C-alpha cells in the first residue's frame, strides 16, 4: 500500500533490527520533544499575542529551578542515548571467530571481491545467509567506503591500510552496495549488489565459478615468483624469519619491543621492511613497495594467514 | 579624539596602545595554532617512524642550525632594546636597534639559504622535483621527514620575512610617524618578532636534535 | 529616481563616489561592501544548488555530466561555506552592529577592517578563477589522497582562495575581540551586553583559533600537490586520515562560526517582538561560550567509520552529546521568552520563529548522528546532508534573514514592505522543509551523498526535494527584489521602529558617521523590555506605508 515509495530500508542483517530499535526510539523521542516545544511556542504565540487579555503579571525572565531541571534532564537523556549507541557500535569490533573472510578491493570506480576459494567477482558480492562474513577491505587509490544499507554497515576503505567490516545476512535477497566516500568522477557508479543466498545455494554458486586456485594458493605462487621463498624458505642460505604460523603471533623486535603480527605488521614488513625489524635478524630484506599492488597484497596476506590457519583461533583469544 | 590616534574608535593614545598589544597577543595565539597543528603532524609521524626520523635528522647541518639559533636569539635581544629606547624617547638608539634586528633577521635567512642549497646538493631535498638520493635506512619515511623539514622551516622563514618587511616599512616611515604611533608599532612588532623566534626555538630541537 | 532618494541622511550621505566607498574605514560602509559581495556569492552558490536539484529530479544523469555534477557540488560547498556562511552574519551585521551595540565610534582597527574586505575579495578572485577555469571536483572537504593525487581540477587555486579568505576571517575575529574588550561604553558591563555581542565574541574566538589549523592543512595540501611532499600520501609514508583530523579540527568549530551568530540574532529578535526580557540571559550568554569551547573537541565525530580507533569514536560521541546540551538549553530559553509577552508577528519575528523550529529539528537530527551505531548507517548519506542544511540554511540563513529584516531600517534608514516580507518568510519556510525533509527519509533509506545518479526507487523523494528547491529559490529571490526596492524608494524609518532596547536603536537611522552624537552611558541590563502596561511607543510600518 505504499505505491512503490520506499519509507524504510530492508532489515536484512543480524544487527539491522537492533539499530532500527534505537533509531525508532530516538525518532519517537525527537517527535515528542519537537511536538512539545512546537505546541508550547504556538500556545504562547496565541495566548500572549499582542492585544490579548491574558494575565501577564509575574516574575521576570528567569527561573533557576526550571533552568536546572532542563539542564540536568538534557544531560541524562543525552547520556542514555550515548550509551545505547556505544553498546551497539562496539559490536562492530568483535566479529565471530568462525567468520568467512572475503577480500574486498576498492579502486576507481569498482569493487572487486575474492572469495577464499579464489572466486573473483566485480561489483557483485555473493554471501551465504546465516553465516558471519568479514570483508577485509583495501584500496588501490583513494578513500572509498563500503556501505550496504540493508545490513546497516559501513566502513571506509583507506589506502595503505586494511580495514574490516562484518555482518550476518539474515534473509536471502539482493541488496544495494554503495560507495559512500566521494572518490572521483564516477563515484555514483561505484556500487553493485550484495546477493545473500542460502548456504547450499552459495556452495553451488561457488562451485560454478571459474577459479584456478584459492586466494592463498595464488598468494603462495606470488610468494615464490617475487623471490620471498628464496630467503624465507626452509632451505635458504640467507637467514630470514620463518613465516610458519606467523599471523597473530607476537614478534620480538630488535628495539626490545614486541608487536603482534597482524595485517598491518605484515603489510608494513613487505612494503617497508626496515621499519620494524625482528630481533636477531639483519635488515637485509628489500622493500616491495611498487612491486605488489593491493590485490597482490591481499593474496600474500591470505597465504601468510593460511600458514597459521589452525592456530588462528588460539592466537585471537 | 586626539590627533595622534590612528583609529577613530579610541579617545586616548594609551588605550589605543593597550588595544594594539592585545590584538597582537591574539594574533600570536592564532599563529601558535598554525604552528601547533603542523608540529602535531610532525610528532604523530615521529611516533610512528622514530628510527627513520632520527637517522634522517642526522643529515641536517647541526653547526648551521646552531649558528642560526644564536643569530635569532641575538635579534631577540636587539628587539627589546629598541622598545626600551623607544619608551625612553631615545629615538636614534631605537632606530639603530631596529636596524640591527633586521640585519640579524637577514643573516638568519642567508644562513638558511646556504643550508637549503647544501641540502639540495646532497639530494636530501624532496621538493620541486629535485632528485632524492638519500641512502640511509627507510628511505620512504626519511623522505617524509625531509618533506616536513622543508614545510616547517620554510613556513617559519616566511614569517621571518614578513617581520623583516614590516620593520623595514616602519623604518622608512620613521620620520613621518609621530612618537606615540612609533612606540605603538615598536611594541606590536616586538611581540610578533619574539613569537617568530620562539617558534624557531621549538623547531630547532625538534628537527635537529632528535637522538643526538 | 528622485534626487531626494539619492541623498540619504547619516553615514550614507558622507561622500558617494566609488572612492568614498572603496576606501572607507567606516565599519558601517564596510558592512555594505561585504553585504554586496556576500549576496552575489549566495546567489551564485544557490544557482549551483538549483542545477544540482534539477539534475537529481531523474535517476539517470541526463542534464549534466558526472564531472560537471561533481564540480557543481564541490563549488556549491566551497562557495557557500567559505564565501557566504562563515563571513555572513559577522562581516555584515556584526561589522555594522558591534560598535553600535557596545557604544563605540568604530571597530578597534578600522583600517584592518577595510583590509579584511580586500583580502576577502582577493581570496574570492582565486575561488572565482578556479570556477571559471574549469572548477574543482574534490568536494568542499578536499579529502586526501583524492585531492592531492587524483583530482584534476584547479584544486590548488581553490585551496589558495580559501586560505586567503582565512586571513580575512582572522582579521575580523581579532577586531571583534579587541573591540568587545576595550571599547564598551561606560557602564556596559559584560553581563549587560546583548547576546548578539556575546555570540560575536564567541565566534571571533573560534575564528582566531580554528582558522590557522585550516590554513595549516591547506598549506600541506598545496605543498603535496605542487612540491611533492608526501604528508598525506601513504606511498610516501604519510597518512590520509591525518588530513581528516586537521580538516575537521577546523571545520567542526567552523560550524559554530556559522551558527553562533544566528543564535545571537534570534536572541535579539525574540525578546523585542515578545516585549519580554530574554529568558535566562546568563545561561544563554555562557552557553555560547561553552559551545565555542566544546566545539573544538568534537571533530572526530566526522570520522566514526573512517578507520580511526573505536575508542576514539566513543570519546568523540560522548563529547558530541556534551556540545548538544548548551544548544538544547538555548532552545528552551528562547521558547520560554515568549511566555507572558505581547507577541506581534512582523517579518523578523516570523523568520526568528522559523529559525527556532528548523534549528530545533536539525539539532534533534544531530542526536541521531552523534549516536554511534546510527551514524554508521547514515554517515555520508542524505541524512547528514539534511541535518547540516537544517542547521546551516534552516538555522543560519533564516537567522541572517531575520537579522537583515530586523536591522534593515538601521542599515538603510528605510522601511520595506511588511506584507512582502511575511510572504517571503513563509514561502522560504515551506520551500525549505519540502526540500530537505525528504532528504532525511532518503538518508535512512541509504541514499549516499554526492551521487550524480541513483537507483530509481529513490526518485519519489528526490522529486519532492527538487520541487522544494524551486520554491526555496523563489523565497530567497523575493527579498532581493523588495529590499532592493526599499533601499531606494522605501519610506523613511524612524530611529527605533520596533521599540527595541539596545544602544544601536538610540542613534539615528541611518546612524551618523561616528555612530553617536555623544558617547552613551549604560545603567540597565540588556533586554530591559517593559512589563505589562509599560509598552514602548511602537511604530507601525503599515501606517507609514499607507501614507
**pLDDT digits over A143-183, tens only?**
999 999 999 999 999 988 889 999 999 999 999 999 999 99
Residue C126, classified by CB atoms within 10 Å of its CB into exposed (0-12), middle (13-18) or buried (19+), is buried
Q: What tens-digit pLDDT sequence spans chain A (317 residues)?
A: 467 788 889 999 999 999 999 999 999 999 999 999 999 999 999 999 988 888 887 766 667 888 889 899 999 999 999 999 999 998 888 888 889 999 999 988 889 998 988 888 889 999 999 999 999 999 988 999 999 999 999 999 998 888 999 999 999 999 999 999 999 888 998 989 999 999 999 999 988 887 667 888 888 888 888 878 777 877 666 678 878 888 888 888 877 778 888 888 888 888 878 777 888 787 778 878 777 888 888 888 888 888 876 544 433 33
Contact A158 C441 (CB under 8 A): no
> Residues of A with CB below 8 A from B141's CB?
272, 275
Residue of A76, A143, A297 to mutate, interface with C, max C Cβ within 10 Å: A143
Q: Is B212 helix (H, G, I), strand (E, B) or coil?
A: coil
Rg (CA), chain C: 23
Size of chain B in residues: 212
Determine contact: B47 vs chain C, CB below 8 A: no
> Residues of B with CB below 8 A from A272's CB?
138, 140-141
d(CA B190, CA C360): 48
Chain B's closest residue to C205, CA to CA, is: B26
Determine contact: B91 vs chain C, CB below 8 A: no
In angstroms, the first-to-last Cα distance of chain C is 19
- Give how far Cα C78 sits from Cα of A193, B43, C383, Å: 33, 30, 20
Contact B140 A255 (CB under 8 A): no
Q: What is the full DSSP assignment across B68-119?
A: HHHHHHHHHHHHHHHHHHHHHT-HHHHHHHHHHHHHHHHHHHHHHHHHHHHH
Contact A22 C381 (CB under 8 A): no
Q: How far is C160 from chain A (nearest CA, A)?
A: 21
Contact A274 B137 (CB under 8 A): yes
* pLDDT of the residue at C239: 81
pLDDT in tens, B91-109: 889 999 999 999 999 999 9
Contact B138 A255 (CB under 8 A): no
Cα C103 off chain centre by: 25
Determine contact: C221 vs chain B, CB below 8 A: no
Secondary structure letter of residue A147 according to DSSP: E
Determine contact: C179 vs chain B, CB below 8 A: yes
pLDDT in tens, B117-161: 988 888 787 777 677 777 777 777 788 888 888 889 989 999 999
Count of pairs with CB atoms under 8 A, one residue in A, one in B: 16
Chain A's closest residue to B47, CA to CA, is: A275
Contact B128 C219 (CB under 8 A): no
Q: How far is C451 from chain A (nearest CA, A)?
A: 5
d(CA B169, CA B171): 5
d(CA C256, CA C392): 10
ipTM for the predicted complex? 0.87
Residue of B5, B8, B39 to mutate, interface with C, max C Cβ within 10 Å: B8
Task: Report chain C (547 residues): mean pLDDT per 10 consecutive residues.
Answer: 49 84 92 95 95 93 89 92 93 96 93 95 91 84 83 81 92 95 93 95 94 87 76 77 88 92 96 91 92 90 86 90 91 92 93 96 93 93 96 95 96 93 96 96 94 92 95 95 93 90 90 88 85 41 38
Contact A6 C458 (CB under 8 A): yes
> Residues of A with CB below 8 A from C373's CB?
18-19, 22, 84-89, 91, 152
Phi, psi at A191, each rounded to 5°: -165, -170
Higher pLDDT, B26 or C531: B26
d(CA B49, CA C534): 72
Buried b (16+ CB within 10 A) or exposed e, C368-406: bbbbbbbbbbbbbbbbbbbbbbbbbbbbbbbbbbbbbbb
Amino acid at each position: 500500500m505504499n505505491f512503490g515509495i520506499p519509507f524504510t530500508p530492508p532489515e536484512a542483517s543480524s544487527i539491522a533490527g537492533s539499530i532500527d530499535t534505537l533509531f525508532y526510539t530516538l525518532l519517537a523521542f525527537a517527535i515528542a520533544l519537537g511536538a512539545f516545544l512546537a505546541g508550547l511556542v504556538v500556545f504562547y504565540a496565541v495566548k500572549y499575542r499582542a492585544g490579548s487579555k491574558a494575565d501577564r503579571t509575574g516574575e521576570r525572565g528567569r527561573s533557576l529551578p526550571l533552568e536546572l531541571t532542563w539542564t540536568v534532564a538534557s544531560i541524562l537523556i543525552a547520556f542514555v542515548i550515548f550509551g545505547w549507541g556505544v553498546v551497539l557500535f562496539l559490536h562492530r569490533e568483535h566479529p565471530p571467530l568462525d567468520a568467512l573472510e572475503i577480500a574486498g578491493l576498492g579502486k576507481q570506480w569498482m569493487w572487486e571481491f575474492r572469495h577464499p576459494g579464489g572466486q573473483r567477482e566485480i561489483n557483485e558480492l555473493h554471501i551465504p545467509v546465516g553465516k558471519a562474513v568479514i570483508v577485509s577491505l583495501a584500496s588501490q587509490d583513494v578513500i572509498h567506503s563500503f556501505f550496504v544499507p540493508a545490513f546497516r554497515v559501513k566502513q571506509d576503505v583507506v589506502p595503505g591500510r586494511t580495514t574490516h567490516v562484518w555482518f550476518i545476512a539474515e534473509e536471502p535477497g539482493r541488496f544495494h552496495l554503495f560507495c559512500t566516500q566521494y572518490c572521483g568522477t564516477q563515484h555514483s557508479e561505484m556500487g553493485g549488489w550484495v546477493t545473500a543466498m542460502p548456504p547450499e545455494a552459495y556452495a553451488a554458486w561457488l562451485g560454478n565459478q571459474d577459479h584456478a586456485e584459492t586466494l592463498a594458493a595464488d598468494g603462495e605462487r606470488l610468494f615464490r615468483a617475487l623471490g620471498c621463498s628464496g630467503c624465507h624458505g626452509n632451505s635458504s642460505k640467507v637467514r630470514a624469519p620463518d613465516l610458519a604460523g606467523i599471523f597473530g603471533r607476537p614478534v620480538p623486535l630488535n628495539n626490545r619491543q614486541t608487536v603482534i603480527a597482524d595485517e598491518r605488521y605484515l603489510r608494513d614488513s613487505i612494503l617497508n621492511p626496515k621499519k620494524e625489524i625482528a630481533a636477531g635478524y639483519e635488515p637485509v630484506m628489500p622493500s616491495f613497495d611498487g612491486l605488489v599492488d593491493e590485490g597482490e597484497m591481499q593474496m600474500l596476506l591470505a597465504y601468510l594467514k593460511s600458514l597459521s590457519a589452525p592456530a588462528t583461533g588460539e592466537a585471537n583469544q | 579624539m586626539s590627533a595622534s590616534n590612528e583609529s577613530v574608535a579610541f579617545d586616548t593614545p594609551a588605550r589605543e596602545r593597550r588595544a594594539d598589544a592585545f590584538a597582537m597577543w591574539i594574533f600570536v595565539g592564532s599563529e601558535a595554532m598554525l604552528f601547533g597543528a603542523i608540529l602535531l603532524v610532525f610528532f604523530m609521524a615521529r611516533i610512528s617512524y622514530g628510527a627513520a626520523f632520527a637517522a634522517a635528522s642526522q643529515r641536517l647541518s647541526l653547526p648551521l642550525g646552531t649558528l642560526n639559533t644564536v643569530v635569532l636569539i641575538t635579534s631577540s635581544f636587539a628587539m627589546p632594546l629598541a622598545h626600551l629606547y623607544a619608551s625612553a624617547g631615545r629615538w636614534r638608539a631605537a632606530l639603530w636597534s631596529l636596524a640591527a634586528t633586521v640585519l640579524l633577521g637577514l643573516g638568519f635567512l642567508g644562513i638558511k639559504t646556504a643550508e637549503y642549497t647544501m641540502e639540495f646538493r646532497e639530494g636530501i631535498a624532496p621538493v620541486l622535483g629535485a632528485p632524492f638520493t638519500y641512502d640511509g635506512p627507510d628511505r620512504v619515511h626519511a623522505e617524509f621527514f625531509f618533506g616536513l623539514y622543508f614545510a616547517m622551516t620554510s613556513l617559519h622563514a616566511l614569517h621571518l620575512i614578513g617581520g623583516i618587511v614590516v620593520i623595514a616599512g616602519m623604518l622608512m616611515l620613521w620620520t613621518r610617524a609621530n612618537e606615540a604611533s612609533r612606540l605603538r608599532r615598536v611594541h606590536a612588532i616586538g611581540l610578533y618578532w619574539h613569537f617568530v623566534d620562539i617558534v624557531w626555538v621549538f623547531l630547532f630541537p625538534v628537527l635537529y636534535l632528535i637522538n643526538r | 529616481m528622485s534626487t531626494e532618494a539619492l541623498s540619504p541622511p547619516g553615514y550614507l550621505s558622507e561622500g558617494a563616489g566609488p572612492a568614498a566607498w572603496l576606501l572607507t574605514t567606516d565599519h558601517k560602509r564596510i558592512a555594505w561592501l561585504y553585504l554586496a559581495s556576500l549576496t552575489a556569492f549566495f546567489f551564485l552558490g544557490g544557482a549551483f544548488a538549483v542545477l544540482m536539484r534539477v539534475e537529481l529530479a531523474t535517476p539517470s544523469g541526463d542534464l549534466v555530466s558526472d564531472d560537471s555534477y561533481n564540480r557543481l557540488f564541490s563549488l556549491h560547498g566551497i562557495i557557500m561555506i567559505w564565501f557566504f556562511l562563515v563571513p555572513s552574519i559577522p562581516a555584515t551585521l556584526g561589522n555594522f552592529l558591534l560598535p553600535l551595540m557596545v557604544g563605540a565610534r568604530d571597530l578597534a582597527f578600522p583600517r584592518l577592517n577595510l583590509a579584511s574586505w580586500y583580502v576577502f575579495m582577493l581570496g574570492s578572485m582565486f575561488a572565482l578563477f578556479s570556477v571559471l577555469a574549469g572548477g574543482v571536483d574534490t568536494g568542499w572537504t578536499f579529502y586526501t589522497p583524492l585531492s592531492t593525487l587524483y583530482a584534476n581540477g584547479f584544486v590548488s587555486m581553490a585551496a589558495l582562495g580559501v586560505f586567503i579568505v582565512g586571513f580575512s576571517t582572522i582579521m575580523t575575529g581579532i577586531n571583534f575581540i579587541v573591540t568587545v574588550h576595550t571599547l564598551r561604553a561606560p557602564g556596559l558591563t559584560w553581563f549587560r551586553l546583548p547576546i548578539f555581542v556575546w555570540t560575536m565574541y564567541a565566534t571571533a574566538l573560534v575564528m582566531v583559533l580554528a582558522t590557522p589549523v585550516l590554513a595549516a592543512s591547506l598549506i600541506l595540501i598545496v605543498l603535496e600537490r605542487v612540491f611533492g611532499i608526501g604528508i598525506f600520501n601513504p606511498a610516501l609514508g604519510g597518512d590520509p586520515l591525518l588530513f581528516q583530523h586537521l580538516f575537521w579540527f577546523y571545520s567542526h568549530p567552523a560550524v559554530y562560526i556559522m551558527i553562533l551568530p544566528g543564535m545571537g540574532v534570534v536572541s535579539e529578535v525574540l525578546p523585542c517582538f515578545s516585549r519580554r526580557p530574554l529568558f535566562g540571559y546568563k545561561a544563554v550568554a555562557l552557553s555560547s561560550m561553552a559551545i565555542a569551547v566544546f566545539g573544538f573537541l568534537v571533530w572526530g565525530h566526522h570520522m566514526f567509520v573512517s578507520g580511526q580507533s573505536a575508542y576514539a569514536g566513543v570519546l568523540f560521541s560522548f563529547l558530541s552529546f556534551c556540545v548538544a546540551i548548551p544548544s538544547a538549553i538555548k532552545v528552551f530559553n528562547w521558547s520560554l521568552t515568549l511566555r507572558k509577552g505581547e507577541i506581534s508577528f512582523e517579518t523578523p519575528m516570523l523568520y526568528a520563529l522559523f529559525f527556532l523550529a528548523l534549528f530545533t529539528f536539525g539539532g534533534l537530527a544531530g542526536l541521531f548522528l552523534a549516536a554511534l551505531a546510527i551514524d554508521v548507517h547514515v554517515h555520508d548519506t542524505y541524512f547528514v546532508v539534511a541535518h547540516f542544511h537544517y542547521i546551516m540554511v534552516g538555522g543560519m540563513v533564516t537567522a541572517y534573514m531575520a537579522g537583515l529584516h530586523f536591522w534593515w531600517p538601521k542599515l538603510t534608514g528605510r522601511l520595506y514592505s511588511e506584507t512582502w516580507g511575511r510572504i517571503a518568510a513563509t514561502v522560504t519556510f515551506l520551500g525549505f522543509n519540502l526540500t530537505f525533509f525528504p532528504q532525511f527519509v532518503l538518508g535512512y533509506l541509504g541514499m549516499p551523498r554526492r551521487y550524480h545518479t541513483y537507483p530509481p526507487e529513490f526518485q519519489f523523494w528526490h522529486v519532492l526535494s527538487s520541487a522544494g528547491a524551486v520554491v526555496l529559490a523563489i523565497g530567497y529571490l523575493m527579498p532581493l527584489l523588495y529590499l532592493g526596492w526599499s533601499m531606494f524608494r522605501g519610506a523613511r524609518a524612524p530611529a527605533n521602529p520596533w521599540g527595541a532596547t539596545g544602544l544601536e536603536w538610540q542613534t539615528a537611522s541611518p546612524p551618523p558617521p561616528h555612530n553617536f552624537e555623544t558617547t552613551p552611558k549604560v545603567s540597565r541590563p540588556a533586554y530591559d523590555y517593559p512589563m505589562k502596561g509599560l509598552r514602548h511607543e511602537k511604530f507601525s510600518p503599515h501606517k507609514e506605508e499607507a501614507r
